[in-house]
Amino acid sequence: MDPVSSPQVNSQDTMRDKLDKPLENLSSSTVVFPTARKVIVILFLVGVCFGVFHEIVISKLFNAEYSFAFEMVLGDLAYIVALAFLFHNSNISYSYFLNVPTKPLPVKLMFNWTLFLMCLSYAAYYVLWLPISYVVPDFVQSILSLTVDIFPSFESGEVSVLASVVMFIVLVITAPLFEELLFRGLLLRRWMTKYSRTKAILLSSALFGILHVDPLGAFFFAVAMCLMYLHTGSLWVTVACHALNNFVVWLIVYTDTFLIEFLTLPSVDTIQANWHRGLTFVLLSAAWYLSIKRSSHDPMKLRYQIQ
């Protein structure tokens, strides 16, 4: 007589099978899942078209501050529409990626992990750009200037209420949802069918990092989100963590806190003069990581059952 498996064990086995074979459990038998190349090409074309639209229309209607804010929110919406088209064309249900965890999200744990990732990202910023600044200072200066352009309040110390609200929508709502659906939901799962899980994580995280101003910090953040997604089985967990990370950034930048001046690196001279600050964040990140791993606050140990 075969032993009877408990519902909990069966549920865990089902979730594990779903993650190991991410595209074999779609409800529709007519699914033609888009290749990663197709996804990237379509989103690239959308970006080019929207860039032209921005130069012709948006930049002419708004000043620099509002132009950038509306470019961000409309751009994210355009990408979300493109993703919706890909999902519809492939008969893929959003519920396949946005499963509902049966447990409430561990907000305290996620906040602790998010602060660690932000600390790690800041340390990575120094690790990457400080040595390069001694070799090609003009290139690094252009990157630092781009960061200032993204957050105009860094320069002026003031930002309008409307622009602040728009950036909140972009950073905390649309960007986390779009980026998690794309990088952790679509690309990661697609590459997992073609490569090993480790290679899929590294590829999707590398692409995520390349598309951000701080590529090394963004890469580490993406790896953490991939692991969190694969261990919980739901993108809502990573969307919430991503949104929390961006909310802290928005809070620092658009509420004119004292941290703006402390965290801003507007020039090569600044980053070279404050090398000790980068070293401090590297050591703090290492100590924080060891503390997390030794405690019960490691989100990678979480297991969720999916409804």
The pLDDT tens digits for 197-243 are: 999 999 999 999 988 878 888 898 999 899 888 887 778 888 988 99
The two structure tokens encoding residue 21: 């074979």
pLDDT band with cut points at 50, 70 and 90 for residue 46: confident
Burial of 267 (C-beta count, 10 Å sphere; 0-12/13-18/19+): middle
Of 16-30, 53-67, 253-267, give the range with the top mean pLDDT. 53-67
DSSP state of 212: S
Q: What is the CA radius of gyration of the chain?
A: 21
Amino acid 199: pLDDT: 93
Pair 273, 134: CB distance under 8 Å: no
Q: Residues for the chain: how many in total?
A: 307
Pick the closest to residue 212 from 123, 285, 150, 277 (CA basis).
150
CB proximity list for 100: less than 8 A, separation 6 or greater = 234, 236, 306, 307
Amino acid 307: pLDDT: 47
The two structure tokens encoding residue 217: 């910090």
What percent of the chain lies above the pLDDT cut of 70?
69
Rounded to an integer, what distance in angstroms lies between the CA atom of residue 146 and that of residue 218?
Answer: 16
Amino acid 22: pLDDT: 46
pLDDT band with cut points at 50, 70 and 90 for residue 68: low
Burial of 45 (C-beta count, 10 Å sphere; 0-12/13-18/19+): exposed
